[in-house]
Structure formats: C-alpha cells, structure tokens
Amino acid sequence: MRVFVISGPPGCGKTTQSDKLSKNFGLKHISTGILLRNEIKLGSKLGKLAENIISGGNFVSDEIACQLVKNVISANLFSAGFVFDGFPRTLSQCKEFDVILKGFNAEINCFFDISVPEHELIQRLTDRGSHSDRKDDSDIGIIKHRLDLYNSTAQDINDYYKFKGLYYELNGNRSIELVFRQIRSIIDYKLK
Ligand code: ADP
C-alpha cells in the first residue's frame, strides 16, 4: 500500500495535485477538508460539530481528524494506496498517523510540501471565495487566520518528515502541470 501526503498552506494547490496524483497512480484521494465539508452538507452529528470551527478557519480536534482518516482507510483496504490532502496538520496528528498506518501495515512513502508566496495564496483564496460557497474563503480576516494557523504548525511537521527522510519541497508557484511533473519524477525516483 503506497501512502503519499500532499501538504502546504491553504490555497497552495494541494487538492488539485492530490487529485492528479490519485488518478495517475490509481490511488484513493483522502482530503480531510472535503470529508468534513461533506459531513456538514449531510447535517451529521460530526458535521454540526465541525461547522463553526471550519467556517471560523480553525482546526477540528486531532481526535476527529484521525478518526476520519482511520475510517476511510478501513473502508478502502483494497486500494493500491492513498493520497492524503490536508492531513496531518499538527505534530500530534503526524505521530498518531504513524500509529494508524502501522495498524494497516503501511507507512508514508513521500511527504510533499507545496510552497507558494503568501501574497499569491491570498490572491488565490480570495478568487476562490468569490465563486464558491466556502465561508472560510469569503473573508480576508479568516483567510489570514488560516495562513497564520498553518504557519504555526508547519515547521514542526516539516521537521518531523525531514528527520525521517520523507520530505520534498515543491515550488507551487508554477503551472499545475509543472508541479505535477516534479511530483511524478520524485515518485518514480523514490519507488524505482
Ligand atoms: P485549506 O487547505 O484550503 O484550508 P481544506 O479543504 O484542506 O482547505 O480544509 C478546510 C478546513 O477543514 C480547515 O481549515 C480545517 O478547519 C479543517 N481541516 C481539514 N483537515 C484538517 C485536519 N487534518 N485537522 C484539523 N482540521 C482540519
């Protein structure tokens, strides 16, 4: 079972690249953000709990995020592998993720960190907010709060994967195709 993580700040293109990676390599794409927004749409207990947290630009608890991930892996045990998008987002999620994966006899193969200058991220998120119903993209204060929250946890997470030799930084301020080409060449090199 292959496991890839696509990380980076809000607006860096995580979901776009995860989608391409999952389609090209026949992997299951797991975005905790999409899963949570689905729960909100469904009006489930979890969705009700998460709604205000997400629209305010905050993180749901590590427990909720990890449980979601565990459930999706369990439901897709016969998948060739997974692309995680927006998870893990805190150091404790990183540690718990290792335990979860171990339970499925799996481990992370590569951790990709897509970096994009902050002014470009703000531009992308405000553009997205103008034609989507995402409340967390519709307010510049909330966008900046999400960027600050990301910046407050990113260093620890990146160091965690650098130490394990799994960390790859990508310049996300390029075309979708160029970023993806780099992801593919790293995977080809790493898994050959
Ligand atoms: P973005 O990366 O643009 O913030 P996502 O769709 O990945 O968009 O996530 C949307 C929101 O969902 C986050 O701001 C956060 O509130 C919540 N969320 C997603 N993943 C996690 C996670 N691993 N831990 C805590 N909260 C999460």
Query: Each residue of 70-127: pLDDT tens digit?
Result: 999 999 999 999 999 999 999 999 999 999 999 999 999 999 999 999 999 999 999 9
Name all residues whose Cβ lies below 6 A of ligand 1: 10-11, 14, 31-33, 36, 53-54, 57-60, 65, 86-87, 89, 93, 136, 146
Nearest residue to 3 via CA among 73, 62, 53: 73
Structure-token pair, residue 171: 């310049």
Q: Is 80 exceeded by the pLDDT of residue 17?
A: yes
pLDDT in tens, 118-140: 999 999 999 999 988 888 898 99
Instruction: Report the separation in Å between the CA atom of 192 and the middle of ligand 1, taken as the mean of its atom positions.
Output: 32
Q: Quick one: tokens of 94? A: 């990183």
**CA 75–ligand 1 middle distance (angstroms):** 21
The pLDDT, as a whole number, for residue 142 is 94
Distance 24 CA to ligand 1 centre (A): 24
Closest CA to 88 of 99, 76, 96: 96
Å from CA of 87 to ligand 1 middle = 8
Site to probe by mutation for ligand 1, drawn from 15, 31, 67, 89 as the one with most ligand atoms within 8 Å of Cβ, is 89
* pLDDT band of 30, cuts 50, 70, 90: very high
Hey, which of 39, 59, 94 would you mutate to test ligand 1's pocket, going by the most ligand atoms within 8 Å of its Cβ? Answer: 59
Q: Is the CB of residue 146 less than 8 Å from the CB of residue 135?
A: no
**Which atom of ligand 1 has the smallest separation from the CA of 37?**
12
pLDDT(192) > 80: no
Q: What are phi and psi of 12, to 5 degrees?
A: -80, -15
pLDDT at 182: 98
